[in-house]
Amino acid sequence: MLIDSGRPSLKMNKTALIVLSILQVVSASNLSIALFPFKNETSSDVYSWVSYAFPEAFATKMDQLEDLQIWDPVYLFQVDSTGYDMNSDSLTNVHRHRWGWDVLIGGRYVVRNDSVYLRSRIVWATGKDEPLKIETKFSSKLDEISLKIPEMILQNASFLKIALSAGDSARILEKSKLPASAYQTYLAGYGFEMKKDFNAAMSAFSRAVEIEPGYGSAWCKMARLSQQSGEFENTKSWFDRAVNSSPHNPNVIAQAANFLVDSDLLSEASEFIYTHKKTLERSAWGLMAIGKLYLAQGETQRAVAVLTKAVASRPSDLDVEFALGMAYLAAGDYMMAIEFFNRLIKARPDYLHYYSSLGAAYRKAGQLMESSMILESALVMDPQNSTIMVDLAHTYFKLTWYHKSAQLLQKAREANPGLKDVLVNLGVVYYHLGNKKEAQKLFVEAASNSSLRQSALNNSGNILFKETELNKAIRAYRKAYKSGKKNPSVLYNLAQAYTAKGKFKIAYYYYDELLSLSPGRVDVLLVQADIAKKLKRHEDAEQCFSRALDIFPYHEGALNGLVDILVDQKRFKDATKPMESYLEHLPNNKEMIKKLAGIYRMSGWYEVAIMKYQIIARDYPDDPDAYLGIGYCMYELVVNKGARNYEDVIYAMKTAAQHNPENPEPDIVIGDVYMSYRGFRDLAIEHWEKALVKSKDEDLRKIIKEKIKGAKN
């Protein structure tokens, strides 16, 4: 179907109107759109840059809209070019099945004299055998294409029933101030990048910024290409130029933020992300930068939450989903990590990095055979891949297949002599093979390499720690600590070693240093709280538990620890607040309800405590503690508040005794009520004697005997 339009105003034939009426009933929310380069039907390659004008502009201008996923054309073309012809319905369907897009937009063009004539083609996948197809015609002067393409974008958005605000439309139609030559050169680079001709792409982008030094997107592209080549200084410099040139461009800001996090420039990244947070929150890549910063800081739960939001906002490539998978892996939710990595492998079955991560997730989940099978299949795909060899060696090590692990590590070392940590890993494997001399030799060799020294000393310390050579282990860890940047693993090992030596103050100090690097480590905060309690530093322990709950609000260990400290200080009101908050979200946790009821009872709020115990009795009718708690609260109302419901106390305690016949406490309380409030001495003695038979605690037996003796006298 062809809709001929040289201008934004449209003249539609009858068939087009029918199709558009069908499209009107299809919701445009949550659309996923793929963009293909336009096919050059001109005999000359001089105008090949036109191929990328529409997909680049559409992706850039429409990517900020909510409920819309625009697949990054560069990413999609690099990963999968099977359907880019658009003349083959079968290839297009294969492409759609792999990427799950709803709409495909591509087209063709021809250049005559100084004008370009474009035909865009929309393929709307309806779920039926035949997708809906619409074609439109558009024309422009070559030097004015940057002004005309936005009109074409609005036209396509209208067909797709994408709701645009007046502000959105104005932003899309905003005129470019770039020289035509800079824009055309940039588009040529965009095309070279799609085709993985990175040298040509870099040359084109460099030429674009020569023509227009304020071309932020071109600086950003140069920075990304430089980052892929590992050229740190150029990358950082060019991202700085990109941000300075385009301080309000969400794409530029997001990519710069991700670079800072990925480069481990955490202090700078934190400041940059704080400054640009509102802009970053507008895109999936921006949210990814925030999430990865949390992950780098050890705040795994916050990372998962932000990256989940990023994935929900429909990212333009698979990097965001991969980041969320890595966050789940770091958070210990291995099943979710496995689910994500498996899904990513289905989309990119040739990308070995996903296999490496999936193998690690299976390994950490304890599914070692699954891990080995995944990594072995990856190694079949690329037998010389040293990274996969090392990953598989780790899994073999966990399986205690030490010989196979050593063989793989040796092979990886031969394939890539500069591969980090292979010497250290080999040393660990040789130690477990019983060859301690060779292991130590490898550690010494690794320690002579400045980049491996810290890891070698750390692992040497681990071996000494296992052999309970604590002083030697501490010396090794301290050397590791001084031989490089602060390292969470080294700090954790130092703290553990000092804890094992009973030097809690020093251990606390190193845990503090670790938390300065990874403030979200709840496990460390809990250990530190335990040390603070040993040192009688209750305020520090309280602070540690509170920080843990800020990160993980429903962590039972942290909650119990905090509440116990508050109760010990008789700060009952403070203790009830976090318990009540917890039970608002998890109302069926019996032990927590019981604990809260106990706090109410200790604080003298007997009526409220009874209500909580009654909830337990209702939902867990076989729980004896519920009835005992009710009985005690009623008894304490009698003793402390002058209540006279003696029979209710006796009934409650008899019920508690029925549910736990071995417990002497109900009979002791019943005896007390009969003796002190009813004057029934014989009944009191009868119940105390029952309690005496049940009691095995000598101190309690002594108390009961005194009661019986006093009653008889």
Q: Name 115's bridge partners.
A: 112, 141
Beta carbons within 10 angstroms of residue 609's beta carbon: 24
What whole-number distance in Å separates Cα of residue 328 and Cα of residue 93?
32
Taking only the tens place, the pLDDT of each residue in 86-135 is 778 888 888 988 898 999 999 999 999 899 999 999 988 865 656 788 88
Give me the CATH number covering residue 101: 3.40.50.10610
Closest CA to 423 of 390, 405, 446, 393: 446
What whole-number distance in Å separates Cα of residue 519 and Cα of residue 538?
20
In the prediction, which pLDDT does 397 show?
A: 95
Confirm if 656 and 649 have CB atoms less than 8 A apart.
no
pTM for the full predicted model = 0.76
In the prediction, which pLDDT does 130 show?
A: 67
* Angle of the 319-331 helix axis to the 352-364 helix axis, nearest 10: 20
In the prediction, which pLDDT does 134 show?
A: 85
Confirm if 82 and 94 have CB atoms less than 8 A apart.
yes
End position of a domain, from candidates 172, 194, 216: 172
Q: How many domains does the chain have?
A: 2
End position of a domain, from candidates 402, 419, 436: 419
Asked whether residue 578 is assigned to any structural domain, the reply reads: no
End position of a domain, from candidates 419, 443, 465: 419
In the prediction, which pLDDT does 128 show?
A: 60
Task: Report CA-CA distances (Å) from 11 to 151, 169, 512.
Answer: 15, 21, 70
What is the CA 198 to chain-centroid distance, rounded?
Answer: 31
In the prediction, which pLDDT does 3 show?
A: 31
Beta 103-112 vs 115-124: how paired, if at all?
Answer: antiparallel
Taking only the tens place, the pLDDT of each residue in 221-279 is 999 999 999 899 999 999 999 999 999 899 999 999 999 999 988 889 999 999 999 99
Asked whether residue 452 is assigned to any structural domain, the reply reads: no
Asked whether residue 641 is assigned to any structural domain, the reply reads: no
Closest CA to 516 of 480, 546, 557, 486: 486
CB proximity list for 567: less than 8 A, separation 6 or greater = 575, 599, 602
Give me the CATH number covering residue 356: 1.25.40.10
Structural domain of 132: 2-172
What whole-number distance in Å separates Cα of residue 301 and Cα of residue 553?
10
Asked whether residue 61 is assigned to any structural domain, the reply reads: yes
Closest CA to 117 of 50, 69, 70, 178: 50
Reported as type and span, the H/E element at residue 689 is: helix 681-694
Asked whether residue 324 is assigned to any structural domain, the reply reads: no
In the prediction, which pLDDT does 652 show?
A: 93
Closest CA to 636 of 603, 675, 674: 603
What whole-number distance in Å separates Cα of residue 515 and Cα of residue 692?
53
Confirm if 238 and 223 have CB atoms less than 8 A apart.
yes
What whole-number distance in Å separates Cα of residue 419 and Cα of residue 231?
18
CB proximity list for 587: less than 8 A, separation 6 or greater = none
In the prediction, which pLDDT does 537 show?
A: 94
In the prediction, which pLDDT does 29 show?
A: 52
What whole-number distance in Å separates Cα of residue 324 and Cα of residue 333?
11
Asked whether residue 368 is assigned to any structural domain, the reply reads: yes
* Planar angle of CA 336, 97, 345, nearest 5 degrees: 35
In the prediction, which pLDDT does 66 show?
A: 78
In the prediction, which pLDDT does 314 show?
A: 87
Q: What is the mean pLDDT of each run of 10 residues along the chain (713 residues)?
A: 34 40 47 93 90 94 85 92 74 88 93 92 75 85 91 90 90 90 96 95 97 96 94 95 93 96 91 94 94 90 94 92 96 94 94 96 95 97 94 96 95 86 90 89 86 89 90 94 90 95 95 88 92 94 93 89 95 94 90 95 95 94 93 95 93 94 95 93 94 93 93 85
What's the token pair of residue 546?
């509170």
What's the full length of the chain, in residues?
713
Number of H-type helices and E-type strands within the chain:
38, 6
Asked whether residue 386 is assigned to any structural domain, the reply reads: yes
In the prediction, which pLDDT does 125 show?
A: 82
Q: 250: helix, coil or strand?
A: helix
Asked whether residue 542 is assigned to any structural domain, the reply reads: no
What's the token pair of residue 542?
């309280």
What whole-number distance in Å separates Cα of residue 37 and Cα of residue 146?
16
DSSP 172-227: HHPPP-S-HHHHHHHHHHHHHHHTT-HHHHHHHHHHHHHH-TT-HHHHHHHHHHHH
What is the CA 451 to chain-centroid distance, rounded?
Answer: 29
Q: 133: helix, coil or strand?
A: strand
In the prediction, which pLDDT does 129 show?
A: 59
Reported as type and span, the H/E element at residue 35 is: strand 31-40
Confirm if 71 and 194 have CB atoms less than 8 A apart.
no
In the prediction, which pLDDT does 83 show?
A: 60
